[in-house]
Amino acid sequence: MLVLTRRAGESVMIGDDVVVTVLETRGDVVRIGIKAPRSVQVHREEVYRELQAVNREAASPDDAAVRAVTELLRPALIEPPGD
């Protein structure tokens, strides 16, 4: 990890297109502004990590799971007796 020290109002450039600016610091909270092209997604790390995890869990469900979802879509049917 590259470590830099900045004061409020100072910035860091990442590549040609991303600028991270320290807007203000107040106690242990830092407000950060980020300028990036719209193809670069910027999110709080914990939010993004959770989203990656949920997407991976959701990816390619097995047949039993797909059947379970299909059941959700079906209004409850009464099975005919003696089948």
**Cα gap 6→27, rounded to integer Å:** 15
Strand-pair partners of 31: 24
Which positions lie near other proteins, rule CB under 8 A? Answer: 38-39, 41, 43-44, 47-48, 50-66, 68-70, 72-73, 75-76
Residue pointed to by tokens 């959700």: 72
Q: Between 10 and 31, whose beta carbon lies closer to other proteins? A: 31
Nearer Cβ to other proteins, position 9 or 37?
A: 37
Nearer to other proteins, 2 or 73 (CB): 73
Q: What are phi and psi of 32, to 5 degrees?
A: -120, 135
Q: Least Å distance between CB 3 and other proteins?
A: 26
67 φ, ψ to 5°?
A: -60, -40
Write down the least CB distance from residue 48 to other proteins, Å: 6
